[in-house]
Every structure is written in C-alpha cells, then in structure tokens.
Amino acid sequence: MMDWPCGVDHIALDTVTSTMTEARQRASVLSCPTWISAKHQTAGTGRRGRAWDTGAGNFSASLIYRPKGTPAELALRSFVAALALYDALEAVSGRGDIFTLKWPNDVLLRGGKLAGILLESLPEGLIIGIGVNLKTAPPVEILEPHALPPKTLLAETGQHITPETLLEALAPCFAHWEAQLTTYGFALIRTAWLARAAHVGKPVRAQIGNTVLDGVFTTLDEGGALVLETPKGRHAISAGDVFFDKESPHAAGD
C-alpha cells in the first residue's frame, strides 16, 4: 500500500447529509487538499441530483482541492478520479480483472454498478465526491429506469473491505494520477482510461437530453468526449448517459 500523500488532509465524520455538502461548507477555510469521509450520509446525491443511497459499511468521501485550469480542464478530473478508484479497488481486493470504467464517471464490477463519481466546481475549488458499494447496494426498485444492476464488493468477492482501508489506497492513487495529468497532460490519462474502459468497440446507446443515438463506442477524443460512430456519422458526446444494452431508452422509430 502506498503512503498517504504529503500535504493532503483528512477529516473523518460520523453522520452527514453528504460529504459533498460538508466539502462545500468547509471549502473556504481549508488550506490544503482535504478528503472528507463519513460513515453515513442521510442525503447523498449522484449525477443530475439523483439520490445515492449510502448503506452501513459503504464508502462515502469527497476531495476538495484547488487545481488550476479552465472549466473544461477541471472536468478532466473525472477521469483522474476514475483511474484512481480503479487502482485503489484493485489494490485492496487484489482483483483488477473484475473492474471496468464506464463513461462518464462510473466504476463497474462484473458489469454492474459498483461506484459513482461526482464533480462540482466552486469559486473556492473543485469537489470530487465518490461513493462505493462495499457492503450494500440500493434496492433495485428505487433506481432510475434502465439503470445497470448494482453490485457490492462483498457479495461479488466475499471480501470485507472497510471504507478506511479503501481511502488509504485511494488518496495516494489519486495523487499519482493527478500528478500524471499535470505533468504529461490528458493524452496519458486518456490512454490509461481507455485500457480500463467497458464496451470499447461495441455497440452502445447514448441519450443526450431527448436525443438518443445508437452506435459503436470507438474512443475518447482529446477533450474526454465519448466518440460514437453511427450510421449517420461520427458524434463526440461531451455530456449524457450511455447504455450498454437494449434495455436502454428507445430511440424514435424503434
């Protein structure tokens, strides 16, 4: 296990509304990059304000720090966080073969959703929130329609990994990939992310607002957009939802 990164703080809490909320409230007074973790969240959220259920024994943490860059450059930290979480999960479980990354910000375990990542930019810095189903998963009936089935690390591997153990691995992994981005640029991050990605070269369905596109996921472009080759040409998708099977929303005429 790598050492805790120098110059990075950690605030461990018991019950909070969400670690994102705590990071938001503390951002102006924190003097260094800080991980905020909690044993339980009462109102965790995911992308687009969707609920993220945090059961006992699961991982909930947010990092608040002040990277330099344009809004587009800050958004690339989603890929940094995904790589860091993948590597941390591999380190604590010894099972890199069972994890994949799903654009734009999920970590999958044997095809089901294990973890989600959320970014929020503030005048005081950038918050990266991460939730991982270590022991429990939300009931299927409360999930949004067409969501991937939730998975837990415990059920799939039999391993009891504590949130503290995962954070001890995640913090140095994030520091490593952040340094790679700032030193070498996004090209290196892009290559590493694609090597761990799910469904590259396979058909997917993308929903952007009310528009649905079917095509083959070929790559990421230089700005992190998902590149979809469709019968009507190439599309670079910078925001939206991606589905892997025909249980996804139907396009007009399906």
Q: CATH number for the domain including 222?
A: 2.30.30.100
For the cut 50, the answer to whether the pLDDT of residue 251 exceeds it is: no
For the cut 70, the answer to whether the pLDDT of residue 234 exceeds it is: yes
Is 250 part of any domain?
no
- 160 and 208 in a common domain: no
Is 93 part of any domain?
yes
For the cut 90, the answer to whether the pLDDT of residue 55 exceeds it is: no
- 220 and 178 in a common domain: no
Each residue's pLDDT tens digit, 78-129 = 999 999 999 999 999 999 899 999 998 999 999 999 999 999 999 999 999 9
- The reported pTM is 0.91
Is 2 part of any domain?
no
- 71 and 48 in a common domain: yes
Average pLDDT of the residues in 127-151: 83
User: What is d(CA 91, CA 136) in angstroms, rounded to the nearest whole number?
Assistant: 20
- 157 and 60 in a common domain: yes
Q: What is the pLDDT of residue 66?
A: 96
Q: What is the CATH number of the domain that holds 144?
A: 3.30.930.10
Is 4 part of any domain?
no
- 212 and 185 in a common domain: no
For the cut 60, the answer to whether the pLDDT of residue 246 exceeds it is: no
- 191 and 239 in a common domain: no
Average pLDDT of the residues in 213-217: 95
What are phi and psi for residue 135, nearest 5 degrees? -120, -35
Q: What is the pLDDT of residue 51?
A: 55
Is 43 part of any domain?
yes
Is 55 part of any domain?
yes
- 175 and 229 in a common domain: no
Q: What range defines the domain where residue 216 resides?
A: 203-243
Q: What is the pLDDT of residue 157?
A: 95
Q: What is the pLDDT of residue 147?
A: 73
- 139 and 31 in a common domain: yes
Q: What is the pLDDT of residue 142?
A: 61
Phi-psi sector, 201: left (phi>0), alpha (psi -120 to 50), beta:
left
- 93 and 211 in a common domain: no
Domain's final residue, options 195, 216, 233: 195
User: What is d(CA 66, CA 167) in angstroms, rounded to the nearest whole number?
Assistant: 20
Q: In the chain, how many domains are there? A: 2
For the cut 90, the answer to whether the pLDDT of residue 17 exceeds it is: yes
Q: What is the pLDDT of residue 138?
A: 79
User: What is d(CA 231, CA 57) in angstroms, rounded to the nearest whole number?
Assistant: 46
Q: What is the pLDDT of residue 44?
A: 65
Is 249 part of any domain?
no
Is 230 part of any domain?
yes
For the cut 60, the answer to whether the pLDDT of residue 241 exceeds it is: yes
Min mean pLDDT across 90-104, 168-182, 201-215, 240-254 is at 240-254
- 214 and 129 in a common domain: no
- 27 and 131 in a common domain: yes
Percentage of the residues of the chain whose pLDDT score is greater than 90: 78
Average pLDDT of the residues in 14-40: 95
CA proximity to 192, closest of 224, 233, 152, 154: 224
- 208 and 184 in a common domain: no
Contact criterion met (CB below 8 Å) for 151 and 143: no
